[in-house]
Amino acid sequence: MSKDRNYRFETLQLHAGQEPDPTTGSRAVPIYQTTSYNFNDAAHAADLFSLQKFGNIYTRIMNPTTDVFEKRIAVLEDGAAVLATASCQSSHVCAITYVSQAGEKMCTTSVLLL
């Protein structure tokens, strides 16, 4: 769904981040119940794992269903990108890793509220 058009928030909630399936015309986001993906050859796999090419490697890293979810939330929140995590703890690790650098100290309370 293109950001060029002036869609209302309600429409973006349902359709942002996904294009209809070109083969079937299906509008619903498919749920890919898989944990692994095929590679065309060893070079293709190497390009994906070295992040030289965009594509699916392993479901815990990214899958097409999660990709649509991340794109949709980015559009709804007017963000550049979104990272979906599987748990609150993993989101904390990502956030702390992003803002901290080697050698820095972190001060916190015994109770963290988000």
Query: For residue range 77-112, what is the model confidence (pLDDT) as tens digits?
Result: 999 999 888 888 888 888 888 888 888 887 777 776
DSSP state of 53: S
Distances (CA, A) of 82 to 58, 76, 99: 18, 11, 16
pLDDT value of position 29: 80
pLDDT value of position 16: 84
pLDDT value of position 25: 78
What's the N-to-C CA distance of the chain in angstroms? 31
pTM: 0.64
- Give per-residue burial for 49-76: e unless 16+ CB within 10 Å, then b: eeeeeeebeebeebbbbbbbbbbbbbbe
Query: For residue range 19-56, what is the model confidence (pLDDT) as tens digits?
Result: 887 877 787 887 877 778 889 999 999 999 898 998 88
